[in-house]
A and B are shown apart, each in its own frame.
Chain A
Amino acid sequence: MATNAAAEKLRFDAPGPAFYELDPVHFPRPLTRYWTEVHPAAFASGTADFARYYGMLIGGLAMSYVNGFGYKNVLPPPEEEIPQRFARADEIFEGKLWREQLKEWDETAKPTAIATHRELQAVDPDALSDDALKAYLRRCRDHHAAMIEQHMRFTASAVVPTGDFVAHVSDWTDVPLPELLGLMRGASPVSAGASAQLERLVAALRGDPDAQALLASTDDPHRVLTELRAFDGETGAAVTDYLDLVGNRPLDGFDISEPTALELPDALLRAIRTAVAGDAEANDVEQRIADVRAKVPEEHRDTFDELLGEARLMYRLRDERGVYSDIWASGIMRRAALGAGRRLASAGRINEPQHVLDAGLEEMCGLLDGAASPSADELGSRAAYRAAHSAKDAPATLGTPEPPPPDPSGLPPGIARLMRATGTALGALFGSSEAEHEEHLLRGLAASPGIYEGTARLISGAAEFERIVQGDVLVTISTTEAFNILLPLLGAIVTDSGGLLSHSAIVAREYGIPGVVGTRQGTELIADGARVRVDGTAGEVTVLP
């Protein structure tokens, strides 16, 4: 029986003597050469910074790339700094020093970053001479590196207060982690994709019937966006303002290989339509906070309030530090590189503009200078390699596992508390960091487009068919022709297994209802009778609160 011949040829050697762990959550696919050259130094520098700032017992984190896959390892702290780290950890909690970082973020780091992003994205790469383009590419790269470092620098502040809160409340109650994280809701508009610009856009569109009509049309999405930008007055201004803010952001991921919002006008328009149409999400977070607080023993409730306050204060930094730093910068770098790519492709130097994304930065500049390597085919095959592989092709770890970290209870209180907070945060938040504000979100294969909200009905077989009522969402392991009889009643289909060519996918498409198949755990994670939103275009199922 054949296996993937390409994967068999890959050798995965540990890059050094340490213990390395694959990070499939942030990097589900191999990274571009550009990324593997730019990321490691910036990442190491930024993480060393937060480790020192917080007095952590690590030197920082390092990222290495093996066959394009990202592997992380922990660096040991410089021994001579350990005493001051112990002291520093105490200071952190006494002085709530994360607030200093938030202040620095709001007053300096974020506005400066945004100003540079806007300045860089105002440049039209196509209008530059070759020399000017090279200089521009290098500026964008330097900015991207600085932004990666910035992102990492603020990481601890983004997670330690939340981890601290969760660690304490877990001692006092048995409220599960996702519920505790849910208490942060409302604290971070940017996590929900919101921003002042989006609010302005929604207000403008809601007040402009012509714009709404255009928004609702099925015309070419690229044209719709261009026309909306050109509207007179507040509408056009609000659209432009919003697109300037989000347009150069990759919709998913961090690498320059990921398409940005403006490149996917369909997805962008959908997001705008949802925002304009959407009702404000019922915010019962106050009630839920009260519910959890009631479970906390009375003597700890003041501390509960204090810790929750800090966690909610800092929560927005989790997303902002990415969105306003390296995520934006990556989109700008991509845009610049594609400018070079178009130029190189029309000169016949590379086969397709996007192949330039597989060149390192100096290689890009070299190509503009007429260098012979890398060849067009070499770049093409690098691109094909990335498309053909995923984290599943890479081993989860490399090197010898290290002994477990010291038992925090034997350490001075400041460090112990810090380690617990960080451990809780990195263990739970990092592992599900993508999923945190996506708790109750399931992913599967986008089998049939459309969005539908309704009541989930868990059906194990024909014996339960009569439980389905008009408008239900069928949730089951898989379907067969026997299920066809239910179709006129269903609003959407969700299955655990199955592919895009399976029965459930085919009938969902034929019947024109949203379908998400292959969720793996739909029947475990969706409760019978729960309200769900099925997005068959994105391949997501959300259990609504």
Chain B
Amino acid sequence: MAGAPVEALRRVPLFADLDSDELHQVALLFKKRHFVQGETVMREGTDGAAFFLIEAGEASVSVAGSARANLHAGDHFGEIALIDEGVRSATITAVSELDCYGLTYWEFRPLLLANGAIGLKLLQSLAQKLRSAEAS
């Protein structure tokens, strides 16, 4: 089966406002990716290329060397890469064998350009994130 399970996508706040059809379109773009235990999934300060959704396994998050959180099935990370190709803000390491669904901005971009509605909704969720980050 190609792509990520739609249900998994539903839980991602960034995609919260997408309807079923839009979610399906996005879900189809994902590809499976496996990381071995101990592998660095992404490194703080380097350019990002893909957004990941965890299907199974555990990953740790650290910023400036200090551990911040652990991620599990259903969690996601790296969404900034879909928007602005910017640098990663944290280092993510696979604590166990890690199965993910990944989406690169190359794949996401055409969809965004073709479907303005998705873009608008992404902007709205991001704006929300910003407001809550500023508030805390």
Tell me the chain A residues, 449-475 only, with Cβ under 8 Å from chain B.
462-463, 466
Bound Cα distance A466, B40 (Å): 13
| Chain B min CB distance to A402 (Å) | 55
Q: Is the CB of A462 within 8 A of B40?
A: yes
| Chain B min CB distance to A334 (Å) | 57
Closest to A463 in B: B40
Tell me the chain B residues, 4-54 only, with Cβ under 8 Å from chain A.
40, 43, 45
Residues of B within 8 A of A463 (CB): 40
Closest to A462 in B: B40
Residues of A within 8 A of B43 (CB): 466
Interface size on B, residues (CB 8 A): 3
Bound Cα distance A221, B85 (Å): 51
Interface of A is mostly: helix
Bound Cα distance A532, B43 (Å): 29
Bound Cα distance A463, B44 (Å): 11
Closest to B45 in A: A466
| Chain B min CB distance to A103 (Å) | 66
Bound Cα distance A431, B121 (Å): 75
Closest to B46 in A: A466
Interface size on A, residues (CB 8 A): 3
Residues of B within 8 A of A462 (CB): 40
Closest to B93 in A: A463
Residues of B within 8 A of A466 (CB): 43, 45
Residues of A within 8 A of B45 (CB): 466
Bound Cα distance A466, B43 (Å): 9
| Chain A min CB distance to B26 (Å) | 30
Closest to A485 in B: B46
Bound Cα distance A463, B45 (Å): 13
Closest to B40 in A: A463
Residues of A within 8 A of B40 (CB): 462-463
Bound Cα distance A463, B62 (Å): 14
Bound Cα distance A466, B44 (Å): 10
Q: Mark A81-114, 1 if CB is under 8 A from B, else 0.
A: 0000000000000000000000000000000000
Bound Cα distance A462, B41 (Å): 12
Closest to B44 in A: A466
Bound Cα distance A463, B38 (Å): 11
| Chain B min CB distance to A461 (Å) | 10
Bound Cα distance A462, B40 (Å): 9
Bound Cα distance A463, B65 (Å): 13
Bound Cα distance A261, B40 (Å): 53
Bound Cα distance A466, B45 (Å): 9
Bound Cα distance A462, B93 (Å): 13
| Chain B min CB distance to A462 (Å) | 7
Bound Cα distance A400, B12 (Å): 80
| Chain A min CB distance to B132 (Å) | 30
| Chain B min CB distance to A145 (Å) | 66
| Chain A min CB distance to B123 (Å) | 32
Bound Cα distance A438, B43 (Å): 41
Bound Cα distance A525, B43 (Å): 30
| Chain A min CB distance to B45 (Å) | 7
| Chain A min CB distance to B65 (Å) | 11
Bound Cα distance A463, B40 (Å): 8
Bound Cα distance A462, B45 (Å): 14
Bound Cα distance A466, B42 (Å): 13
| Chain A min CB distance to B66 (Å) | 16
| Chain B min CB distance to A489 (Å) | 13
Q: Mark B94-133, 1 if CB is under 8 A from A, else 0.
A: 0000000000000000000000000000000000000000
Closest to A466 in B: B45
| Chain A min CB distance to B104 (Å) | 18
Bound Cα distance A466, B64 (Å): 12
| Chain A min CB distance to B111 (Å) | 29
| Chain A min CB distance to B12 (Å) | 29
Bound Cα distance A462, B43 (Å): 10
Could you write out 4 A-B pairs with CB less than 8 Å apart?
A462-B40, A463-B40, A466-B43, A466-B45
Residues on B facing A (Cβ under 8 Å): 40, 43, 45
Closest 3 CB pairs of A and B: A463-B40, A466-B45, A466-B43
